Amino acid sequence: MDDAMKNKCGDLERLPFMNPDLPLETRVDDLVSRMTLEEKIAQMLYNAPGIPRLGVPEYNWWNECLHGVARAGIATVFPQAIGMAASWNVDLMHRVATVISDEARAKHHEFARRGDRAIYKGLTFWSPNVNIFRDPRWGRGQETYGEDPYLTSRMGVAFVKGLQGDDPKYLKLVATPKHYAVHSGPESMRHHFDAKVSEKDLRETYLPAFKACVVEGGAYSVMGAYNRTNGEPCCASKTLLQDILRDEWNFDGYVVSDCGAILDIHAHHKVTETPEESAALAVKNGCDLNCGGVYRSLMGAVQQGLISEEQIDIAVKRLFKARFLLGMFDPPERVPYSQIPYEVNDCEEHRSLALEMARESIVLLKNEGGLLPLRRDLKTIAVIGPNASSVDVLLGNYYGTPSKPVTAIEGIRAKVSHNTKVLYTPGSELVGRDESWGAAPTRGFSEALATAERADVTILCLGLSPKLEGEQGEVAASDGGGDRLDVALPKVQQSLLEAVCALGKPVVLVLFGGSPLAVGWAHEHVPAILYAWYPGQEGGTAIADVLFGDYNPAGRLPITFVKSLAQLPEFTDYRMRGRTYRYMTEEPLYPFGYGLSYTSFGYDNLALSKKSIAAGEELTVSVTVENTGKVPGDEVVEVYLEDLESSVERPIRELVGFNRVHLNPGEKKTVSFKITARQMALIDLAGKCVLEPGRFRVHVGGSQPDKRSLELTGAKVLSADYEVTGSPLEVEY
């Protein structure tokens, strides 16, 4: 370093913003006060340039870690988000997020040491996706934690806390719950769509997970959605960004737009006429960072009197506060997370955790006659299907690059006895194609049938793929926008399934996907069915562990599997009536919360702390659960609440608690839950949260208490009533 550079660095170190012992606000104010207006505006773009004269390095705010550090090279790839939700395991989710943040920190510091500050290599991550998966057609539903606000909240909070760490001074990463708010398709309409919802649905369904991530989880960033909500562009919505997020929830972080969403305000929503108007509207209403380039127009907006430099300062200070909290302007030895070694990335311990999560995510949908688990010394096993050897179906979307991905066929081959012959053929494509040059869609059927005919059991690996569902512009074989046109198994796969089953040999169906499949025919004709989701890099091993009994499945569905689209309202209808287990009156194929096991469980001694409580009191619920079967296993204890006397329509029942517990054969455990006043309260037509006196019913068991759940599981759900006394009480939303 030459003398001039040494003098410059020494001068910078003496500036107040470089002093780590000064209060955070003082440092931020000092740094921003030294910037020109042009420099401030440039910092509000996701690809913020450096300011060499102040020693501010360039920074790209765009990073992804939906289920592992994404798009930044080799990293541990966990199951897709919807699969992790199927674990119903909050502690495990937190452990996964902690590992993700370890790898993110290690990779970032190694990249920065080498002068690489490119996109996807920073510390501000645009995850988790806590939108409600209200319609199974939505291609991005795979990124969410399902259809239930409570389950989504618990998983979201665990993920946020795992990413951001627990240091009293520094953030490990910045987590960004998205897409705020009322966002779940259609993908092809997202840039101009107006999602119209009542105050009741807004606060009962669409906002709770965001609030939990912000208030409980401490999320330091939120991403606005593309669409409008009730007429306001989400990235420039005073209602969402100022009134609710900042004023009600006391959010103290920064808001980032979805990519291109500010452009949409004038180009597609037609709310404004110019880029200057869109940029000014968004910033004044609380959107601080632009993924896109429209904020370059802020200079013109200032000149036109649409926004002041003081209003721009507010946004810039929020952004730099985040960078200070991440330790970017402090000596590395002061920032504990900067010491995480690069070697933690993709280490054996992390790969083991990916396997653990993959195992816990798998849902056993059917096991007639105890076909599963299979013997590993069978003479011949046929593995058939387009997903059997696919790496794509391990990864879903927004993924990193696994160093050792294990496909289903690889997992099965590694599991069986050396005397067992494993025959493999894809059998068909994912979807049927037009006949050309004599190549019919069924061209692989003959080999598949010949293979299955020679086997003791056939494992069919079918279902969806990221090629069939996903984000707008990424999926060719869909509606053109990433959403599915139907929820049935693709026709060519259905034909393959029926042809193999017609042989009369035992069949196990392993389904892959990020959303529900209407597999009614399979449920009637196939003895054993697993749903594996997009199970991550260790998916093949996890599937084989379940198929051959080395792991007892205990995943539960985080979303309802309907029988057909005829059971659902129009995709564009954002009212909740008729949607999800909370409002759907028709019988589904597989209910929310459903999943089978290789063992059985019994429930006893359901007890309530009181049979009558005053409005505002909590209720404690306890129950004894026992493994009544012959093998160890996990049971997910689910607690649902039913309001028997509400003055307005409210959900048929709502999940208010769950706990995944491990039990050995004959072992019993007593588990307890607290139901809060907020959970008992309803959202009235004005959007107020009110606890009404009246009768309530609590249901506790391994599933919902509805007829279909009990029919499929053969289990018993215990129920008890209690009453709330006193006058109606408005409680904090």
Token pair listed for 12: 């910078």
Give the Cα separation of 389 and 308 in Å (integer): 58
In the chain, count H helices and then E strands. Answer: 22, 24
Give the type of residue at 600. Answer: S
Q: Which two tokens stand for residue 377?
A: 């010394």
* β-sheet bridge partners, residue 626: 602, 668
Spatial distance between the Cα atoms of 724 and 675, rounded to a whole number of angstroms: 12
Half-sphere exposure for 330 (CA within 13 Å, toward CB) = 25
Helix H or strand E encompassing 695 = strand 694-701
Give pairs for 489-492: CB < 8 Å, separation 24+. 489/462, 489/463, 489/517, 489/518, 489/519, 489/522, 490/430, 490/431, 490/432, 491/431, 491/432, 492/428, 492/429, 492/430, 492/431, 492/432, 492/441, 492/442
106 contact partners, CB below 8 Å, separation of at least 6: 340, 341, 342, 343, 344, 345
**Residue 728 neighbours by CB distance under 10 Å:** 15
Q: Which of 469, 545, 635, 684 is catalytic?
A: 469
CA distance 128 to 258: 13
Q: Could you give the dihedral angle defined by the CA atoms of residues 200, 202, 208 and 209, in that order, rounded to the nearest 10 degrees?
A: 150
Whether the bond into 128 is cis, omega within 30 of 0: yes
Question: Is 258 designated active site?
Answer: yes
Residue pointed to by tokens 């816990």: 360
CA distance 80 to 516: 14
- Asked if 276 is an active-site residue, the reply is no
Beta strands 59-60; 194-195: pairing state: unpaired
Would you mind telling me the total number of residues written for the chain in this entry? Answer: 733
175 in Cβ contact with 213 (< 8 Å): yes
Of 143, 258, 264, 483, the catalytic one is 258
Inter-CA distances, 162 with 99, 180, 338, 723, Å: 8, 21, 16, 38
Query: Which residues are known to be catalytic?
Result: 258, 469
